[in-house]
A and B are shown apart, each in its own frame.
Chain A
């Protein structure tokens, strides 16, 4: 009965809309797959990811070693699996740092515009004036060459992204016309902020979150590639690529192919998913 009443007024839910985005769905599935692989790697890997077996070095992919072995005879599949959890973990933590600091800074500056907010936003501007990788490298080197400082550096460098986005959102929503209507009905300011302003800021933040995860993972891998980030023997995709550089011309393609593919697939998935999220969250698109 109720269903009949709503004939023509049913609209797809958020998940239905997301499912309709084929590319976003593919991205989501791929991210999920890597997450599962990362979790599994805590309990099971075919071989030890760090144990050196010089006798088995540089074996091509076979039934015993599905992705072959590297120059120290370590199983690449096992190292890939551990790499997934490391990349995802570092990426998530780094982006959480940017998010947890950037969002409040941006929301505050946008809602209460004053001298302090001006100062905060200028600091964000100057941080953003540096090329991302240079900034991350300097912070990371200053903090010490390890995975923790690489993660922290990527997190810090990502703060302006979120702060600026949140700032712009808060400003525009605060000044959008319907907020005046909420004042007119007598809704207290605090409730206007939490019920109307903040929820209207969320969509672009979620989208940026997904895109940022991709780029954070890429940056951390780049750092490891350059020898600043995750330190050996910890298996990390970027570092694996770095080690494989010397073997491209000699024909051991599997050493660089699989970690390269992994990074590309994960970063691409986050980007696709972010784009799909944007459309699924847009209340105007049916």
Chain B
């Protein structure tokens, strides 16, 4: 299968100015030199704990936050080189589903108006009748009767609103959709419904997803491949089945342990120190070294290279 999206050495640093009390500005390396690709009609799941840079990755790929360095190739074109106007056709092909659908719906607009906006933007010549048909079709596609398009976002429940958010994303017929924790804000029964919808749309519309979640079971359900992020880096990347059978990175094992929560809670302070900040540890060594049960001297001194442990199974760890 051919590659749709290729991300090379992508980084996004935020500079937090501490203005009131002076002090040096602090650089947060939210995403630090990551590379991955998404094939056509493939779902790449990105998993990692809160604050590890998942959302930043999704936004940087779509240039919602301008990346600090790296390349994002969409069908071979580096979209980071494009101007805002040149970028517009790619915005049609690359869409986003947000964690909270309030993030894409103007509260003063009816669903109909919100859905019409992207369609009109990317198909300027479209007629009124055709536009109406298109909106009705999309409403039905995400499981609503077309008359619901007259409603306002606040008149929907969380799960319904998320389906409207999905409808807006697919309304311009994209090929690639970044889904940033699309079900994390929903309760479990509704999660399944929305996940099934997304899976169905992917088949029907031949979509590719970059699917971000902190929930391994969600990732397992939806992904073809899994990437594990920790402190701004992708530490392991493998086919879903291979990953769940044979996770290699010590952090992946922590994630997968039956009761990972207490472990994480205990080390939370240490963890957050490790994240992003240019502390001695993360500057020179593996960011996970401070928490890793297998940490060796070399882990604290040197960032491990990416290694291919098995075909298609990449891991960044000195153990392998």
Chain B CB within 10 A, most for which of A177, A180, A186, A188: A186
Bound: A188/B92 CA distance, A: 13
Quote the shortest CB–CB distance from B97 to chain A (angstroms). 9
Tell me if A187 counts as interface (CB < 8 A to partner B). Answer: yes
Do B103 and A185 have beta carbons less than 8 Å apart? no
Tell me if B194 counts as interface (CB < 8 A to partner A). Answer: no
Interface size class of B (residues with CB under 8 A): 20 to 34
Tell me if A122 counts as interface (CB < 8 A to partner B). Answer: no
Do A178 and B117 have beta carbons less than 8 Å apart? no
Interface size class of A (residues with CB under 8 A): 20 to 34
Tell me if A284 counts as interface (CB < 8 A to partner B). Answer: yes
Do B104 and A184 have beta carbons less than 8 Å apart? yes
Do A180 and B64 have beta carbons less than 8 Å apart? yes
Quote the shortest CB–CB distance from A200 to chain B (angstroms). 6
Bound: A178/B148 CA distance, A: 20
Quote the shortest CB–CB distance from B247 to chain A (angstroms). 32
**Given contacts A186-B91, A188-B84, are A177 and B106 in contact (CB under 8 A)?**
no
Do B154 and A283 have beta carbons less than 8 Å apart? yes
Bound: A199/B109 CA distance, A: 10
Do B105 and A184 have beta carbons less than 8 Å apart? no
Bound: A187/B85 CA distance, A: 10
Do B107 and A5 have beta carbons less than 8 Å apart? no
Residues of A contacting B316 in the complex (Cβ-Cβ under 8 angstroms): none
Quote the shortest CB–CB distance from A279 to chain B (angstroms). 15
Quick one: which of B241-289 are within 8 Å of A by CB? Answer: none
Partner of A178 from B103, B118, B172 at Cβ < 8 Å: B103
Partner of A181 from B84, B87, B168, B172 at Cβ < 8 Å: B168
Tell me if A194 counts as interface (CB < 8 A to partner B). Answer: no
Tell me if B152 counts as interface (CB < 8 A to partner A). Answer: yes
**Given contacts A6-B150, A9-B150, A186-B88, are A181 and B103 in contact (CB under 8 A)?**
yes
Tell me if B151 counts as interface (CB < 8 A to partner A). Answer: yes
Residues of B contacting A200 in the complex (Cβ-Cβ under 8 angstroms): 106-108
Partner of B98 from A6, A180, A284 at Cβ < 8 Å: A180
Identify the closest chain A residue to B105 (Cβ).
Answer: A178
**Given contacts A5-B147, A185-B118, are A284 and B103 in contact (CB under 8 A)?**
no
Residues of A contacting B121 in the complex (Cβ-Cβ under 8 angstroms): 185-187
Tell me if B100 counts as interface (CB < 8 A to partner A). Answer: yes
Residues of B contacting A184 in the complex (Cβ-Cβ under 8 angstroms): 62, 64, 91, 95-96, 104
Do B117 and A185 have beta carbons less than 8 Å apart? yes
Quote the shortest CB–CB distance from B58 to chain A (angstroms). 10
Do A9 and B154 have beta carbons less than 8 Å apart? no
Do A6 and B107 have beta carbons less than 8 Å apart? no
Do B147 and A9 have beta carbons less than 8 Å apart? yes
Do A177 and B103 have beta carbons less than 8 Å apart? yes
Quick one: which of B146-165 are within 8 Å of A by CB? Answer: 147-148, 150-152, 154
Do A199 and B98 have beta carbons less than 8 Å apart? no
Residues of A contacting B172 in the complex (Cβ-Cβ under 8 angstroms): 185
Bound: A153/B199 CA distance, A: 64
Tell me if A245 counts as interface (CB < 8 A to partner B). Answer: no
Tell me if B102 counts as interface (CB < 8 A to partner A). Answer: yes
Do B91 and A185 have beta carbons less than 8 Å apart? yes
A173-217 CB mask vs B (1 if < 8 Å, else 0) is: 000011011111111110000001001100000000000000000
CB pairs A–B below 8 angstroms (20 shown): A9-B148, A178-B102, A178-B103, A178-B107, A180-B104, A181-B105, A184-B95, A184-B96, A184-B104, A185-B168, A186-B88, A186-B91, A187-B117, A187-B118, A187-B121, A188-B84, A189-B84, A199-B108, A283-B108, A284-B154
Interface contacts beyond A6-B147, A185-B172: sample of 12 additional A-B pairs, CB < 8 Å, sorted by A: A177-B100, A177-B104, A184-B95, A184-B104, A185-B168, A186-B87, A186-B88, A186-B118, A186-B121, A187-B118, A187-B121, A196-B106
State the A residues within 8 Å of B (CB).
5-6, 9, 177-178, 180-189, 196, 199-200, 283-284
